[in-house]
């Protein structure tokens, strides 16, 4: 899933400083799962903003909503009643950055992101998420014991650990596992170490961001 | 001869090679380079010019290599994958060759997180193994990575780095084998302090027949003080400094620690010369270029042989 985290409250306060009434809109997709922008987080942020603005003597009216998803036009549409009739001056989106972009495309009022979209990852334990994918557009993890060297090696190396790998940790931090130690251990367990002895050639990054903004077209899905 | 570089000739003739290192200045002052370079004249066969080492911005390696050539010295261009994509890498290689640079050391590069611009967007389009392949293709086939013919071959002596002390240890000789398969001619190792582990590494490398396929130069970095030894032991990932050295320096007064460090480096060179498969040493006297001569001399490696 897309993992995101809320921006610092001071940054959000500054974004909405000039407004008297905003729509704070959450998303029931990925950001709900990673506890950054679901209904609960919308409620918490709304309360925090109201209290802070009241303290400043400039109360902020906040309409709270959580859409099914903010990355689909049909769900974006569901906010039209509030935005077009309720005198909302700006939108503060708690979705990943696709959400505020979709809101901005549909509604002609300023839109602000309340979250930082961090990475594509998974939960390691309750409250801890880590990066597992950089969406390079051509998955190769099967060559590496199911571990992605693009996203999990700090230098995206394809041919083994750099000289900084020590005691299973990456040179950039003792908090970061060396992906190549993980790959080595896994391939050893699988009895496939000899596959790591081959030189992995240069990667074609054109399926990644390096090919420009990407698009997926599924003809069978089109109406 | 693949490149005809002095380093290649020395190694091909069976001499025990000595390479040195020069860290470019954090600025545009040519005098700094000239001063450092003179300390290495006649002392080493080839001088590595580091490429923004530890991700700190410095004068570019290619420019410094050209300055060394003009001074009549032989450079070894370090090139990292951290700051360049395959377009920039190939362009820099062609330009370097045109300037007279004949030795290239292919490196991944330290992660930018350590340097003076940790906010930088790093590249890592290719890794060091793939960089070796790129240089080899350029030299042996006269072609760019995309298969396009070059106008004029860039015939480099291809080097790389190896760390016998990084983990997983068992993979390290395999990784060297991969670099050889990719096309490397010589490698320089990470600074060696744990001689026992290095011997074990070399034994495996020799048993695998790798020392016959590639020249292995053992890395030496003199410890200038107890403080430096502690730093190298604790804070440099992938470096193995046994307690023995720390204890030995602890027993020496502060003003005598530098001399002791030099003595230890000389001993290391002498030990390394006895290890089968080692073709030379790479002296990384970090900001101590002026003391390189005494180490090389005391180790009995002067004068350097003449080659034509």
Instruction: List the pLDDT tens digit at each of the 223 positions of chain A.
Output: 999 999 999 999 999 999 999 999 999 999 999 999 999 999 999 999 999 999 999 999 999 999 999 999 999 999 999 999 889 999 999 999 999 999 999 999 999 999 999 999 999 999 999 999 999 999 999 999 999 999 999 999 999 999 999 999 999 999 999 999 999 999 999 999 999 999 999 999 999 999 999 999 999 999 9
Q: How many other C-beta atoms lie within 10 A of the C-beta of residue B244?
A: 12
pLDDT digits (tens, 9 = 90+) for A108-134: 999 999 999 999 999 999 999 999 999
Q: What is the pTM of this model?
A: 0.96
Facing residue for A197 by CB, picked from B110, B126, B178? B178
- Determine the distance in angstroms separating the CA of B239 from the nearest CA of chain A, rounded to an integer: 8
pLDDT tens digits, B52-105: 999 999 999 999 999 999 999 999 999 999 999 999 999 999 999 999 999 999
Which of the four pLDDT bands, split at 50, 70 and 90, describes residue B264?
very high
pLDDT of residue B20: 98
CB contact under 8 A, A202 and B126: yes
Taking contacts as CB-CB distances below 8 angstroms, the residues of chain B near A163 are 161-163, 166, 190, 238
Q: Taking each helix axis from N to C terminus, what angle separates B243-250 and B257-273, rounded to the nearest 10 degrees?
A: 140
Q: Judged by CB atoms within 8 Å, which residues 142-201 of A form the interface with B?
A: 154-172, 178, 180-181, 184-185, 193, 196-201
Find the closest chain B residue to A182 by CA distance: B168
DSSP B92-111: HHHHHHHTT--EEEEE----
Tokens of A7: 């921006």
Report how far residue B78's alpha carbon sits from residue B89's, in angstroms, rounded to the nearest whole number. 11
Q: How far is B34 from chain A (nearest CA, A)?
A: 31
Q: B164 to chain A, minimum CA–CA distance in Å?
A: 8
Give the number of beta-carbon pairs within 8 Å between A and B: 105
B226: its two tokens:
């107890």
Of B127, B134, B168, which has the smallest distance from its Cβ to A158's Cβ?
A: B127
Q: Counting runs of H as helices and runs of E as strands, what totals does chain B give?
A: 11, 8
pLDDT at B235 over 90: no
């Amino acid at each position: 899933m897309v993992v995101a985290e809320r921006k610092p409250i001071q940054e959000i306060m500054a974004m909405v400083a000039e407004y008297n009434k905003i729509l704070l809109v959450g998303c029931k997709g990925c950001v709900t799962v990673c506890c950054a922008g679901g209904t609960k987080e919308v409620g918490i942020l709304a309360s925090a903003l109201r209290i802070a603005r009241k303290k400043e003597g400039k109360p902020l009216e906040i309409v709270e909503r959580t859409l099914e998803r903010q990355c689909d036009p049909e769900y974006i549409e569901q906010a039209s009643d509030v935005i077009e009739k309720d005198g909302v001056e700006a939108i503060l989106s708690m979705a990943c950055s696709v959400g505020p972009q979709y809101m901005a495309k549909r509604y002609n009022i300023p839109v602000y992101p309340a979250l930082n979209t961090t990475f594509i990852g998974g939960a390691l334990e309750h409250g801890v998420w880590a990066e597992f994918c950089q969406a390079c557009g051509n998955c190769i993890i099967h060559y590496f014991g199911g571990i992605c060297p693009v996203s999990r090696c700090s230098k995206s190396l394809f041919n083994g650990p750099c000289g900084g790998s020590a005691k299973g940790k990456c040179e950039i931090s003792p908090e970061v596992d060396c992906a190549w130690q993980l790959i080595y251990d896994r391939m050893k367990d699988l009895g496939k170490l000899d596959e790591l002895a081959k030189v992995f050639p240069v990667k074609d990054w054109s399926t990644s961001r390096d090919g420009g903004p990407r698009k997926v077209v599924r003809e069978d899905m089109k109406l | 001869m693949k490149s005809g570089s002095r380093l290649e000739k020395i190694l091909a003739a069976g001499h025990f090679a000595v390479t040195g290192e020069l860290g470019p200045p954090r600025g545009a002052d040519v005098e700094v380079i000239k001063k450092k370079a003179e300390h290495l004249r006649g002392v080493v066969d080839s001088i590595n010019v580091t490429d923004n080492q530890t991700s700190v911005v410095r004068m570019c390696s290619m420019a410094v290599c050209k300055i060394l050539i003009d001074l009549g010295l032989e450079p070894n261009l370090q090139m990292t994958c951290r700051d360049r994509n395959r377009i920039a890498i190939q362009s820099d290689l062609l330009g370097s060759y045109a300037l007279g640079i004949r030795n290239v050391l292919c490196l991944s590069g330290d992660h930018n997180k350590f340097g003076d611009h940790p906010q930088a967007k790093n590249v890592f389009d290719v890794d060091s193994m793939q960089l070796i392949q790129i240089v080899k293709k350029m030299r042996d086939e006269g072609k760019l990575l995309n298969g396009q013919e070059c106008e004029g071959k860039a015939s480099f002596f291809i080097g790389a780095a190896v760390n016998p002390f990084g983990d997983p240890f068992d993979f390290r000789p395999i990784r060297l084998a991969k670099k050889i398969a990719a096309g490397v001619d010589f490698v320089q190792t990470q600074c060696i302090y744990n001689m026992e582990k290095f011997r074990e590494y070399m034994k495996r490398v020799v048993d695998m027949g790798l020392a016959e396929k590639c020249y292995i130069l053992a890395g030496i970095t003199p410890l200038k003080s107890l403080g430096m030894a502690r730093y190298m032991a604790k804070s440099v990932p992938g470096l193995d400094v046994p307690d023995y050295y720390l204890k030995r320096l602890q027993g020496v007064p502060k003003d005598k620690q530098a001399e002791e460090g030099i003595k230890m480096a000389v001993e290391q060179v002498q030990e390394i010369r006895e290890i089968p498969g080692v073709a030379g040493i790479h002296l990384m006297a970090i900001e101590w270029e002026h003391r390189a001569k005494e180490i090389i001399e005391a180790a009995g490696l002067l004068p350097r042989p003449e080659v034509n």
